[in-house]
């Protein structure tokens, strides 16, 4: 039986070889038939897929999972096609929205200035500034005056702008086509811009009613913009061009406070780390400074946030409610707030003008004049400079707390003397500036202040900042100590101001009639000299 099985197997192998040979010959002669049949099969496959799809649509058969490599490739291609189709739909929608936006303007104008362009109440550089249009901002041009001004409307503001910085007609339309974006329009009086998409995240700024911000992304009830996140509860999303923003009028300072408190003192109010008289002093609130009252303790203290400072103040020295608002309206000033590390200050409103000093980040300076692209600021009494509007935020604001910790007495006698000089000088914070004055209580100018403070400790100084700058010994900024004097120069390079270093990167000085004796950062502008008057 075993032999018969082997014989049969051998014959079967032989037959298999013969059949295989015939198949090879047949295949070599009929390759063209194979290709024809493959092509036909492809057609039938496509037809089958279409028929199956139709059947599935009718509900007559269930869809079958695809498994072949070619079918998997088709699935990938389908996804790519879907993505392309979606992008195409978005492009079409963008184009349609762009047409609608452009059609809403009767005579479109686009600002071509760097930074922003002032909108004035009347045509001319002397007209009151009532708003601002950022570069690439849009407006409707209502008419053109004979002296180079456009009367425009934008963002609910009607006023005048310099026509030199505006393009119109086909050029404006073509430019605007690239500027229509999905924007978040603020509908609340004011709202926080958050660092992260969460109500518990730190606030990095404020957005005011009707301001527009380009939408970068949307996620879980939040809209991402260039500076942070806005809650979608308080904005509407619409395709638009950027438009004008109203000048922050005095009343708009209230948008920054929900529970306003104003310091009711003649000089400075201590801000403490804890709500008691023994709490460490961490800052001082100048007279009429503003803060947000966060909570009230049971023993007569307010927890308050003022600027970057959060701490406790005696409630006896804080006014609230309508009296606080009335006071705020009296003291709010138009300020230029620096938003870059160091900003060049020039003697004239031009980049061709000499840079004669630099001002530091977050410092606030009273605004004396606004010219397109430039702001004239007050540094001290009779010492003014121009800075570019690209690097400052111009708005009405209230005084805020100043970070400050008093110097402690040291065992070292020399250190103790310096501490005594500084602490004595700080007793006169808030007292008035009087040109030529030497009284620490009734009024002094910058050199009269330093002269009178040093006189208390047996050091005689002349009553002129230039002369004081020639006394003592030179000190590097990295080596200065409390009590050293810092000197600042005019645009001509002549010393015209002096201040006293009090430690922690700060100075005290009689600055101007606006601010009196106050605390500033030592590099609120660049000093030209630092001198040690004690010889230690």
* Model pLDDT, residue 451: 98
In the 8-state DSSP scheme, what is residue 168?
Answer: E
The answer to whether 446 is a known catalytic residue is yes
Q: Cα(458)–Cα(471) distance, rounded to whole angstroms?
A: 15
Going by C-beta distance under 8 Å and a sequence separation of 6 or more, which residues neighbour residue 364?
A: 335, 336, 337, 338, 397
**Host H or E run for residue 519:** strand 516-521
Q: Is residue 328 classed as helix, strand or coil in its secondary structure? A: helix
**Where does the pLDDT of residue 52 fall: very low under 50, low under 70, confident under 90, or very high at 90 and above?**
very low
The pairing of strands 443-444 and 438-439 is antiparallel
pLDDT at 54 > cutoff 60 = no
**Exactly one of 132, 245, 272, 509 is catalytic; which is it?**
509
| pTM, rounded to two decimals | 0.55
Q: Give 271-328 pLDDT, tens digit per residue.
A: 999 999 999 999 999 999 999 999 999 899 999 999 889 999 999 999 999 899 889 9
More confident residue, 110 or 2: 110
- The mean pLDDT of the chain is 83
Q: At what angle do helices 69-103 and 169-177 cross, to 10 degrees?
A: 150
Tell me which of 76-80, 84-88, 106-110, 529-533 is least confident. Answer: 76-80
Are the beta carbons of 97 and 89 closer than 8 angstroms? no
If one looks up domain 405-532 in CATH, what number appears?
3.90.1720.10
Q: Is residue 72 classed as helix, strand or coil in its secondary structure? A: helix
In the CATH scheme, what is the homologous superfamily, with its name and number, of domain 183-247?
SH3 Domains (2.30.30.40)
The answer to whether 509 is a known catalytic residue is yes
Rg from Cα positions in the chain: 38
The answer to whether 497 is a known catalytic residue is yes
Summarize the confidence of residues 421-446 as an average pLDDT: 94
User: What secondary structure, in 3-state letters, does 227-267 show?
Assistant: CEEEEHHHEEEEEECCCCEECCCHHHHHHHCCCEEEECCCC
CA neighbor of 487 nearest in space, from 502, 505, 507: 507
* Model pLDDT, residue 87: 66
CATH 3.90.1720.10 boundaries in the chain = 405-532
Q: In what order do the strands lie in the sheet with 222-225?
A: 203-208, 190-194, 228-231, 222-225, 217-219
Are the beta carbons of 168 and 141 closer than 8 angstroms? yes
- 2.60.40.10, 3.20.80.10, 2.30.30.40, 1.10.3720.10: which CATH number matches 252-331? 2.30.30.40
**Exactly one of 252, 271, 421, 446 is catalytic; which is it?**
446
- The values of phi and psi at residue 299, to 5°, are -120, 35
* Model pLDDT, residue 323: 93
Q: Give 8-34 pLDDT, tens digit per residue.
A: 444 444 444 444 454 444 444 444 444
CATH 2.30.30.40 boundaries in the chain = 103-178, 183-247, 252-331, 333-397
- CATH architecture of structural domain 103-178: Roll (2.30)
| CA end-to-end span of the chain | 124
Q: Cα(463)–Cα(381) distance, rounded to whole angstroms?
A: 16
**Exactly one of 194, 212, 395, 497 is catalytic; which is it?**
497
- CATH architecture of structural domain 333-397: Roll (2.30)
Q: Give 165-215 pLDDT, tens digit per residue.
A: 999 999 999 999 999 999 999 998 778 888 899 988 877 777 877 888 999
């Amino acid at each position: 039986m075993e032999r018969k099985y082997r014989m049969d197997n051998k014959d079967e192998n032989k037959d298999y070889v013969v059949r295989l040979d015939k198949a090879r010959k047949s295949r070599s002669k009929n390759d063209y038939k194979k290709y024809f049949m493959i092509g036909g099969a492809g057609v039938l496959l496509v037809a089958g897929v279409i028929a199956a799809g139709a059947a599935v649509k009718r509900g007559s058969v269930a869809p079958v999972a695809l498994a072949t490599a070619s079918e998997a490739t088709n699935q990938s291609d389908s996804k790519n096609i879907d993505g392309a189709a979606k992008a195409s739909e978005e492009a079409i929608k963008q184009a349609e929205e762009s047409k609608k936006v452009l059609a809403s303007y009767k005579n479109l104008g686009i600002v071509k200035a760097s930074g922003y362009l002032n909108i004035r109440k009347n045509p001319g550089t002397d007209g009151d500034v009532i708003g601002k249009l950022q570069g690439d901002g849009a407006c409707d041009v209502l008419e053109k005056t004979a002296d180079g001004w456009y009367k425009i409307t934008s963002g609910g503001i009607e006023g005048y702008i310099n026509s030199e910085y505006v393009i119109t007609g086909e050029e404006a339309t073509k430019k605007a086509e690239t500027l229509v974006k999905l924007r978040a329009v603020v509908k609340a009086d004011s709202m926080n811009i958050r660092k992260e998409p969460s109500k518990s995240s730190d606030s990095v700024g404020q957005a005011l009613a009707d301001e527009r911000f380009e939408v970068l992304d949307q996620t879980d009830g939040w809209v991402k913009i260039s500076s942070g996140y806005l809650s979608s509860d308080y904005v509407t999303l619409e395709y638009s061009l950027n438009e004008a923003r109203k000048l922050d009028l005095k009343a708009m300072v209230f948008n920054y406070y929900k529970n306003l408190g104003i310091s009711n003192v003649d000089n400075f109010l201590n801000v403490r780390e804890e709500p008691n008289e023994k709490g460490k002093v961490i800052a001082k609130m100048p007279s009429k400074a503003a803060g947000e009252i966060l909570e009230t303790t049971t023993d007569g203290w307010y927890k308050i946030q003022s600027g970057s400072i959060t701490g406790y103040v005696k409630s006896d020295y804080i006014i609230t409610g309508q009296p606080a608002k009335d006071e705020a309206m009296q003291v709010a000033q138009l300020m230029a707030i620096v938003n870059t590390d160091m900003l060049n200050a020039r003697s004239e409103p031009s980049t061709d003008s000499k840079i004669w000093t630099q001002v530091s980040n977050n410092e606030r300076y009273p605004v004396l004049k606004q010219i397109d692209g430039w702001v004239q600021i007050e540094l001290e009494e009779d010492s003014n400079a121009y800075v570019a509007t690209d690097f400052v935020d111009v708005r009405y604001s209230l005084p805020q707390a100043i970070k400050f910790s008093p110097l402690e007495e040291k065992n070292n006698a020399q250190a103790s003397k310096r501490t005594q000089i500084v602490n004595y000088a700080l007793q006169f914070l808030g007292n008035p500036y009087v040109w030529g004055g030497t009284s620490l209580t009734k009024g002094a100018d910058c050199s009269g202040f330093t002269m009178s403070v040093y006189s208390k400790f047996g050091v005689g100084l002349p009553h002129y900042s230039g002369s004081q700058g020639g006394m003592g010994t030179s000190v590097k900024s990295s080596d200065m100590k409390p009590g050293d004097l810092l000197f600042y120069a005019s645009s001509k390079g002549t010393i015209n101001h002096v201040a006293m270093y009090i430690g922690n990167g700060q100075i005290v000085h009689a600055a101007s009639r606006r601010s009196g004796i106050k605390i500033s950062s030592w590099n609120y502008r660049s000093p030209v000299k630092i001198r040690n008057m004690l010889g230690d």
